[in-house]
Amino acid sequence: MKAFVVEKYGKDGVRAADVPEPTIGDHDVLVRVSAASINPLDKMVRNGEFKQLLKYKRPFALGHDVAGVVSRVGSAVRGFEVGDEVYARPRDLRIGTFAEFIAIDADDVAPKPASLTLQEAAAVPLVALAAWQVLVERAHVKPGQKVLVHAGAGGLGSTVIQLTKHLGATVATTANTRSEELVKSLGADLVIDYTQEDFSTVLSGYDLVLDAVGGANLEKSLTVLKPGGLAVSVVGPPDAAFAKQLGAPSVLGLVMSALSRKIRKRAKALGVRYEFFFMQANGSQLRKLGALYDSGKLRPVIDSTFPFDQTLEAMAYVEQGRTKAGKVVVSMAPDNG
């Protein structure tokens, strides 16, 4: 089968290749890929940013989001049958959705939301799981609280805005002028045009900030939190809890702790908290999220769709910052639902 594999770490390390079709274990489903989508995590893994923690054996297929059709099921799998339309974010060390087929642990898979096409569903798993795990599991967002999400027009931001509103909280976001109407339509109560205004001079008293920008933006985000508030970053710096989550040796936990010492110290001085976030695969959460898509509480935002053989061009499009809003999808076929 054809796949896009990481042959070496670095910007030019991905190539199209013919690789064997995956074999499946007793608890796996084999999915014929209909569509996948591009995430910043693809670039990070390609560049080897987590190679000390996620020890992939090269060459390995890249890609973290998938929607497709079950073509085979393992002997111990219950609840899925050949022909089922599904979506998933495969667990770490078992990624590889930029391929014609992928074997996925059945626990990571969920039925595709009925209201979404396969191409739309492919844009959902990673960002929806990340939004759920930050807002519901990590921050326990409640009605009446205040949440700031940066880059609200992005794949993650656009999902976080919608889920925050569903949870009953007030949501502010940063976006550029051209994205203001979109983020308002998704439910943003307050939009800060970052090309015109510094969010840290106009916002205060927030319970949670979700940062996907990093650097100075993350440091400024600490200042808009109320005492005890939480800043979560998906771009780092990583902390010791991340190493523990991935089951890394304790020495790597010390390294991660050192990398985030400055921002954690700054947070402590302000009476707030900082945590790094790295989402986890979870099929049961995807089922809950699927119900929210089918009820209209959530909707995917898609920037553009590329054919499968242009996967490298799709990645470059995202890397070059050409995405206007939402996700970039890679499709095996024209969108026929």
- Distance CA(143)–CA(166), nearest Å, equals 9
CA distances for 299 relative to 36, 294, 308, angstroms: 17, 9, 23
- pTM here is 0.96
What is the structure's pLDDT at 335? Answer: 44
Give pLDDT, residue 333.
77
Predicted pLDDT of residue 74: 98
Angstrom distance (rounded) from CA 158 to CA 131: 10
Give the three-class secondary structure for 188: coil
Cα(211)–Cα(222) distance, integer angstroms: 10
For domain 2-123+301-331, the CATH superfamily is Medium-chain alcohol dehydrogenases, catalytic domain (3.90.180.10)
Give the span between the Cα atoms of 167 and 187, in whole angstroms: 12
pLDDT value, residue 87: 98
| Domain spanning 126-276, CATH architecture | 3-Layer(aba) Sandwich (3.40)
pLDDT for res 337: 39
- pLDDT at residue 334, as a whole number: 56
The segment(s) of the chain belonging to CATH 3.90.180.10 are 2-123+301-331
- CATH 3.40.50.720 region(s) of the chain? 126-276
Going residue by residue through the chain, which has 337 residues, state the pLDDT in tens, using 9 for 90 and above. 999 999 999 999 999 999 999 999 999 999 999 999 999 999 999 999 999 889 999 999 999 999 999 999 999 999 999 999 999 999 999 999 999 999 999 999 999 999 999 999 999 999 999 999 999 999 999 999 999 999 999 999 999 999 999 999 999 999 999 999 999 999 999 999 999 999 999 999 999 999 999 999 999 999 999 999 999 999 989 999 998 898 888 888 999 999 999 999 999 999 999 999 999 999 999 999 999 999 999 999 999 999 999 999 999 999 999 999 999 999 997 544 3
Backbone angles phi, psi at 17, to 5 degrees: -150, 155
Please list, in sequence order, all residues whose beta carbon lies within 8 angstroms of the beta carbon of residue 257, skipping any fewer than 6 positions away.
239, 240
Cα→Cα distances 23→74, 149, 166, 229, Å? 10, 40, 40, 46
